[in-house]
Structure formats: structure tokens, C-alpha cells
């Protein structure tokens, strides 16, 4: 069902690309109503326009807070054209139809990113715009609604094709988009107020995000998938390679979370299936990569490397030797990029702007969503208590904290063996903590990494002595674990009997 457009109301914050739109409206002799800055811009572009205040015969008041909130505006939009009682109401009040509403909102989202001035933020909450959009979207049977300058071209095509009219399918599609736009806008405002009042778990929770891209498929080819973000690009920039997949993104976020927990500007993380298979925080960037790789070079094949620094030529030459799905870094110099781009399918990602501060993690199950704050607190010496008779050396303490930090990002049950701020054995994702110990030890032995400076970390307490016993028998000299077991005293006694350093963490760090 085609609907002829005779009157349009335009009120936009984003005033770009108006001229082609105004040309088509003028060509089809469509009356234009507008206000404020939009009115001035339309006049500047030499098009005829009627101010809203003259259309309603009522002035803008409250410093512009009230201008389009008027019965003549909303009756003109909301009336059902074929409903006799509606027609009578309009005639009795000397109102007229408004057939096209072109509105985009005050830039609330960009405002909260630019300023913390609450008064300025409040004034950038649009009231009239979303109200008109909702009215037009509800009455899509008779009214066309445009909410973005990106839709102008499609509107121009529609008006050209149907000689100043729009089709029902077109109006219905734009109505769906419009309600999504108002819902998104309100959700950003809701989130702002929740954050301002430090309300983490409100009675009703609204989520918002913009589509970054529709992915080729999900975890498996038969699953559909897309990635959304509350920022414009998830703060990641893909420079080269195949399109990122669901599994790529999952691994990327896992790798970056670990990278950002390491000292600023140093450290290499290698991830496979969302689990670290090698981590090193050595100062020399090339050595940190080689050390991380040596922890498990077999698992690293087809994995993801995240460098917490800028990649240069010498490291790029090493990275090129191994088949990798993704390389992430805080930038790449030109020589490094040239080398890495010789691998056609290698996904190269700049994570310079990625941040993991004050984030929440979401896990969904059918129609339910669990939310928790991320496990991001940096570990300090005061977070640990020495419970053994033997005290750790400064080097051991440094390695223990490093190992425990990595351990919290390994799927539970998790055991990490480390030396010289480098992982040398990782056991992950086992129902039995004892099995995780054995896997970590086996990895260490398989790649000949055993040495005299071994430390071990466990993401939760050892429920029995057998776990720590297995580690000590393999050459571990110092262990860190959370306290909380009814057998903590037995574990402490065993450490003292074997002259092993034992630290208790004050917090547990499961990652399921």
C-alpha cells in the first residue's frame, strides 16, 4: 500500500547529507517543517521551510526543551488516515497530517564519552526526538520514519520510484529500525544512570550494543554468529587477513585479558581454545615470545599470540615461522607488517586501544544471563600470606605471583608451573586437581623444561596432600594456593616436612 507524502517534519542533530534529501522533497513538492538548528540549516541551503513554532502557533519554551511536544505535531503523526473519528478530530482542531518524520537524536552516547559534566549530559537527553520517532513508528501504516542519515539514500530511491510515495514494506522496515533506535538510546541512558549510582545489578537490566560484524559462523559451521560491542569497534583494529571467526574472538579476548594483567609494555601470551599454553613476562620481547612458545610449542600451532608491546622486525621473523591464526600487538612497525603480511590468511590485529578495566562478564543460557565483574585485580605481595617455615626468596615470590596470575585465566581445575616469569607447564580444565598436576608435569618433562627454580600455582586449595606431593616430587620448590580447605594444616605440615615454600592467597580464582 503506497502512501503519498505531502508534509515532512525534520529535526536532526546530525545535519550532514541534507541537501540531496531536501532536493527530492522539493522536487515532489513536499512541505517541510523544522525547528532550531535544523531549520537554520535548511534555510541556509536555500530551501523553503516552516518553523515548528509557526506551524503549532506556540513558541519554543524552557530553553528549547519543549518545541515539538505539541498535540498538533503528534496528532498529525499518530492519526489513522482511514479512521473517521480521527479525521473528525483533526478537522475540528484544524490539524493536518504529517507523513514523514526525519529525526536523529541528541548525541547522548558521544557526550558521556567526552565529558563527566552531569548537567551537560542531562541536557543531551533527547525527549522530543524519540517521542516523535515512536509516534511515527507506531503509525507506520500511514507514516514514514527516518532515524539516520544513512537511510537518506534509500528514502530518495523510494520517493523516486513511487513518485513521492512510500511502500508499506519500506515503512514497516523503517519502523522496526526506529523502535530499535529508541530502545538503544534509552538503554545507554539507563546504563549511564546505573553506573553513576554504582547500581551494578538493577531490578531490570538493559543491554545495548552495535553490530561490529556478522561472523562467518559460530563455534561450528552450522551455528550463526555475530559480534556486538558498546564501543564502535570493540577497540580492536584488524589490519590484515581472513575475517575473524567466533572462535578467533573468543581466543583474542582471552589472550588480551591475560596480556593486560602483565606489567605494562611487556609479556607474550599464547592461547589455544581460550586457554593459555604459554606465557612469559621477560623484559626482552623476543625472549619473552621464545620462552612462551617453549612452554608448549605443539599446542601453540594454530593458536593466537598476544604481545603486550609493539612488534618489530626481529620478532616478526620468528612469528612467521609458526602457523598462527591471529597475532595481536600494541602496534606493528612497517618492517614487521611487511613480513607478517606475506602470510595471506594470517589475521593481524592492533589491540593498542583495548582495555579490560572495570568490565563485567556475561554468560547466557537460553533466556537467562549471568553477570559478574571480571577477575582483573592486580596481585600485590600483601594479597598473600607465607605459611611455611621456609620463606621465599625475592625471585621465588616474583615467580609465584606471576604463576598465580596466569593460573586464574586457565580453565579450572588449573595448575601452572613457572620459572623466571615464564610458564613451563600448564594443566587445565580437569575434574581432578591431581590430574591437572600430572598434565602440567608431563608438559614440563615433554619439552625438557625442568630446572632447579620451579614454582607452582593452583587456582583453588588442594583438598588432599596428594596434589602438592606430586608437584614437590617433580622438583617444585615453592607453591601458592588459596586457603580454605579443612586440610590446610596437613598441606602446611607437608610443606614444612619437605622444606617447601608455601603461600596462601587470600582469594580463590576459578575460571569455569
426: nearest Cα among 284, 309, 258: 258
Q: Kindly list the catalytic residues.
A: 138, 273
**Beta-bridge partner residues of 272:** 275
9: nearest Cα among 162, 156, 144: 144
Alpha-carbon span 477 to 397, nearest angstrom: 11
Which grid coordinates belong to 96? 493536518
Alpha-carbon span 341 to 333, nearest angstrom: 12
Contact 241, 350 (CB under 8 A): no
**Beta-bridge partner residues of 145:** 101
Which grid coordinates belong to 273? 581454545
Q: Which residue has the cell 541536557?
A: 123
Alpha-carbon span 150 to 458, nearest angstrom: 53
Listed in sequence order, the residues at least 6 apart from 77 whose beta carbon sits closer than 8 Å to its beta carbon are: 9, 98, 101, 132, 135, 136, 139, 143
CA 123 to chain CA centroid, Å, is 27
Alpha-carbon span 31 to 98, nearest angstrom: 9
Q: 151-156, long-range: CB within 8 Å, 24+ apart, which pairs?
A: 151/177, 152/17, 152/20, 152/21, 153/20, 155/21, 155/24, 156/20, 156/21, 156/24
Residues in the chain: 512
3-class SS string, 173-206: HHHHHHHHHHHHHHHHHHHHHHHHCCCCCCCCCC
**Beta-bridge partner residues of 66:** 61
C-beta neighbour count of 297 within 10 angstroms: 16
Amino acid at each position: 500500500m503506497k502512501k503519498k507524502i505531502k508534509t515532512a517534519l525534520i529535526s536532526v542533530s546530525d545535519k550532514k547529507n541534507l541537501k540531496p534529501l531536501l532536493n527530492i522533497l522539493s522536487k515532489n513538492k513536499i512541505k517541510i517543517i523544522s525547528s532550531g538548528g535544523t531549520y537554520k540549516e535548511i534555510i541556509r541551503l536555500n530551501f523553503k521551510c516552516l518553523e515548528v513554532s509557526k506551524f503549532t502557533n506556540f513558541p519554543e519554551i524552557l530553553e528549547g526543551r519543549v518545541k515539538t511536544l505539541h498535540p498538533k505535531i503528534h496528532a498529525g503523526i499518530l492519526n489513522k488516515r482511514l479512521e473517521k473519528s480521527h479525521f473528525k478530530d483533526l478537522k475540528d482542531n484544524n490539524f493536518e497530517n504529517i507523513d514523514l518524520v526525519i529525526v536523529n537524536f541528541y548525541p547522548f552516547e558521544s557526550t558521556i564519552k567526552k565529558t563527566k559534566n552531569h548537567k551537560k549530559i542531562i541536557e543531551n537527553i533527547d525527549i522530543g526526538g524519540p517521542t516523535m520517532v515512536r509516534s511515527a513508528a507506531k503509525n507506520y501504516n500511514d507514516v514514514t520514519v527516518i532515524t539516520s542519515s544513512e537511510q537518506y539514500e534509500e528514502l530518495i530511491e523510494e520517493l523516486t520510484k513511487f513518485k513521492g510515495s512510500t511502500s508499506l514494506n519500506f515503512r514497516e522496515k523503517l519502523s522496526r529500525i526506529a523502535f530499535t533506535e529508541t530502545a538503544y538510546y534509552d538503554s545507554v541512558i539507563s546504563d549511564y544512570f546505573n553506573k553513576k549510582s554504582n547500581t551494578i545489578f538493577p531490578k531490570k537490566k538493559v543491554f545495548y550494543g552495535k553490530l561490529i560484524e556478522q561472523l562467518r559462523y559460530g563455534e561450528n559451521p552450522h551455528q550463526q554468529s555475530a559480534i556486538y560491542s558498546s564501543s564502535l569497534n570493540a577497540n580492536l583494529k584488524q589490519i590484515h587477513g581472513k575475517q575473524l571467526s567466533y572462535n578467533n574472538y573468543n581466543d583474542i579476548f582471552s589472550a588480551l585479558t591475560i596480556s593486560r594483567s602483565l606489567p605494562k609494555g611487556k609479556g607474550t601470551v599464547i592461547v589455544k581454545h581460550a586457554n593459555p599454553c604459554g606465557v612469559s613476562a621477560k623484559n626482552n620481547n623476543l625472549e619473552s615470545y621464545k620462552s612462551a612458545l617453549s612452554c608448549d610449542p605443539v599446542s601453540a600451532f594454530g593458536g593466537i599470540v598476544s604481545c603486550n608491546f609493539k612488534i618489530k622486525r626481529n620478532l616478526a621473523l620468528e612469528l612467521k615461522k609458526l602457523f598462527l591464526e591471529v597475532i595481536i600487538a600494541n602496534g606493528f612497525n612497517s618492517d614487521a607488517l611487511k613480513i607478517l603480511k606475506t602470510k595471506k590468511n594470517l589475521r593481524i590485529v592492533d589491540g593498542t586501544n583495548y582495555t579490560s578495566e572495570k568490565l563485567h562478564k556475561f554468560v547466557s543460557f537460553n533466556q537467562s544471563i549471568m553477570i559478574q565483574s571480571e577477575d582483573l585485580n592486580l596481585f600485590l605481595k600483601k594479597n598473600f600470606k607465607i605459611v611455611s617455615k621456609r620463606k621465599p626468596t625475592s625471585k621465588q615470590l616474583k615467580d609465584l605471583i606471576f604463576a598465580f596470575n596466569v593460573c586464574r585465566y586457565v580453565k579450572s581445575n588449573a595448575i601452572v608451573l613457572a620459572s623466571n616469569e615464564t610458564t613451563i607447564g600448564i594443566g587445565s580444565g580437569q575434574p581432578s586437581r591431581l590430574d591437572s598436576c600430572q598434565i602440567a608435569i608431563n608438559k614440563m618433562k615433554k619439552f625438557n623444561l625442568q630446572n632447579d627454580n620451579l614454582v607452582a600455582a593452583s587456582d583453588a586449595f588442594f583438598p588432599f596432600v596428594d596434589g602438592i606431593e606430586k608437584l614437590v616430587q617433580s622438583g617444585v620448590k615453592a607453591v601458592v594456593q588459596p586457603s580454605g580447605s579443612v586440610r590446610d594444616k596437613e598441606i602446611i605440615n607437608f610443606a614444612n616436612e619437605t622444606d617447601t615454600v608455601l603461600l596462601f592467597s587470600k582469594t580463590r580464582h576459578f575460571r569455569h
